Amino acid sequence: MEKVLLEDSMPIRPDDGAFLSEVEGLSGVQVSACFHCEKCTSGCPVSYAMDLPPNLLIRHIQLGQRDKVLGSETIWVCASCITCSTRCPNDIDLAHVMDALRRMSMQQGTVSLSRVRAFHEEFMKAIRTHGRVHEIEMIARYKIKTGTLLEDMELGRELFARGRIRLIPERIKGRREVRDIVA
Amino acid sequence: MELNYYPGCSLHGTAHDYDVGIVAVFRHLGVDLIELDDWNCCGASSAHIMHPRAAVELPARNLLIASQSDRPLLTPCAACFHRLRLCQAHLLEHPADHPYAAALTRVEVVHINEMLLKDEIQKKIKTNINNPLAGIKVVPYYGCLTVRPPRAMKHPDPENPREMDAILNILGADVVNWSYKTDCCGGSLAMTRPDVVRRLSGNLFEAAREAGGELIVTDCPMCQANLDTRQKEIERERNTSYQMPVVYITELLAVAMSVPETRSWWRKHIVDPVPLLRSKGWGA
């Protein structure tokens, strides 16, 4: 994958810090405190699959590069393992910032990896429907939506044969309550 | 002794064997688990991204049910445990976000390793061991969600957790020391980026093998599912063979204490642990 680097021609804060403030406001995390020690990037298990490694993502936020940040694959390939937030010497909860960036990206319609979005949508739908996640139904819906039905067929058959797949969903009595929460 | 019990969706689905094992092991130790009445999904992998308010309110509903009694709430699923403790941390900081914030933050949310190491339980385990697990090199794998973020999880040592090591030592196992205890297996990307999962989980198998491990033990249903179900693909991709069974900590407890139901659990595993266990005379 092509790595994005800071470009010489990149204007510094073209938006006068508006994007930075927006991210800090939405996430409640002080992204401007980052002094780029790169501890997050060094420890990130998925930085190899990112177009913008974690600390560079922060640098782009600091420099107001809204489109690059919200259109990046980084925010969707992040595995939410929270290693970065745990190790940051400046106490920047980057994993939490990622969540805010994902929401901003969805609102703006610039989601780079649509499979990830589809998964989370089906997960929430499952909660709304039953109050609990019925795994096989959620996965089937996700796979139909993303056209990946054939991907794990062999595995699915094996899990079924071993009795690890429950076919009948559990529905809770407080479904309405839960539906109000996730409305 | 009685505990409240929050199994969560995984333990009522693909990790049903973990649920059954936990209930059997605690019953063997004289502890009754009382499942929370009408519990709901904690929001796990998605609510924190899609719906931050629900990421607090979904666990809060379960905590509210649990707060009706003084019993501690045993939460064996790493993701559920993570979400319940994060919810409590949030409500301690923002008590105005829930009308019963005070009661919800008072619920004692206990991790399974924590519970097994409580003096009273530990003593019972020690007196019940009749089949010590000597001879197999066991690799304790903790994953992400029970140790991070350490403040909200109240974990004193997120880079080197030792709870399972301690339990395995009690069981007489040969505990392998390795530096990948809390490295991510890729769990949250299981459906969306299987390529990333294969790489991350593959790195874990390599490290476990290099450390001399023969068996991986975990307390997290997502880690177990990933490492067990993707192992064959990873072996194919890396052109190697690990044959490394991935079992739950409760399964090893059951073997060491000769809990009778144990035999029926092994067929749920894709990488069959039985040959290894038999070769060491563990009587699986």
pTM above 0.90, yes or no: yes
- Choose among B46, B196, B199: nearest Cβ to A124: B46
User: Which pLDDT tens digit goes with each residue over B25-71?
Assistant: 999 999 999 999 999 999 999 999 999 999 999 999 999 999 999 99
User: Which pLDDT tens digit goes with each residue over B216-246?
Assistant: 999 999 999 999 999 999 999 999 999 999 9
Q: Is the pLDDT of residue B127 over 80?
A: yes
Residues of A in contact with B58 (CB under 8 A): 127, 178, 181-182
* Res. A150 pLDDT band, cuts 50 70 90: confident
Its ipTM equals 0.95
User: Which pLDDT tens digit goes with each residue over A1-59?
Assistant: 556 666 666 666 678 899 999 999 999 999 999 999 999 999 999 999 999 999 999 99
Amino acid at B100: Y
Point out which residues pair with B74 in neighbouring strands: B5, B110
User: Which pLDDT tens digit goes with each residue over B89-108?
Assistant: 999 999 999 999 999 999 99
Q: Is the pLDDT of residue B283 over 90?
A: no
Instruction: Check A182 against B150: CB less than 8 A apart.
Output: no
- In CATH, which of 1.10.3720.10, 1.10.1060.10, 3.40.630.30, 3.30.499.10 is domain A18-108? 1.10.1060.10
Residues of B in contact with A123 (CB under 8 A): 44-46, 50
* Res. A154 pLDDT band, cuts 50 70 90: confident
Q: Is the pLDDT of residue B284 over 60?
A: no
Residue of chain A minimizing CA distance to B45: A120
- The per-residue pLDDT for B248 is 98
User: Which pLDDT tens digit goes with each residue over B59-94?
Assistant: 999 999 999 999 999 999 999 999 999 999 999 999
Burial of B19 (0-12, 13-18, 19+ CB in 10 A): buried
- The per-residue pLDDT for B282 is 75
Within 10 Å of residue A71's Cβ, how many Cβ atoms?
17
Within 10 Å of residue A167's Cβ, how many Cβ atoms?
8
- The per-residue pLDDT for A2 is 59
User: Which pLDDT tens digit goes with each residue over B153-195?
Assistant: 999 999 999 999 999 999 999 999 999 999 999 999 999 999 9
* Res. B210 pLDDT band, cuts 50 70 90: very high
CA atoms of A133 and A126, how far apart (whole Å): 5
- Choose among B38, B45, B199: nearest Cβ to A173: B38
Instruction: Check A132 against B16: CB less than 8 A apart.
Output: no
Q: Is the pLDDT of residue B145 over 90?
A: yes
Q: In three state form, how does the secondary structure of B198-257 look? A: HHHHHHHHHHHHHCCCCEEEECCHHHHHHHHHCHHHHHHHHCCCCCCCEEEHHHHHHHHC
Tally the C-alpha atoms within 13 A of residue B132's C-alpha that lie toward its C-beta. 10
* Res. B252 pLDDT band, cuts 50 70 90: very high
User: Chain A to chain B, count of Cβ pairs less than 8 Å apart?
Assistant: 153
Instruction: Check B270 against A99: CB less than 8 A apart.
Output: no
Chain A interface includes B149 (CB < 8 A): yes
- Going from N- to C-terminal start, the domains of chain A cover 18-108, 114-182
Domains of chain B: 2-114 (1.20.1050.140), 131-279 (3.40.50.11810)
- The per-residue pLDDT for A10 is 67
Instruction: Check B191 against A46: CB less than 8 A apart.
Output: no
- The per-residue pLDDT for A7 is 64
Mean pLDDT on A148-174: 90
Mean pLDDT, chain A, as a whole number? Answer: 92
CA atoms of B84 and B146, how far apart (whole Å): 11
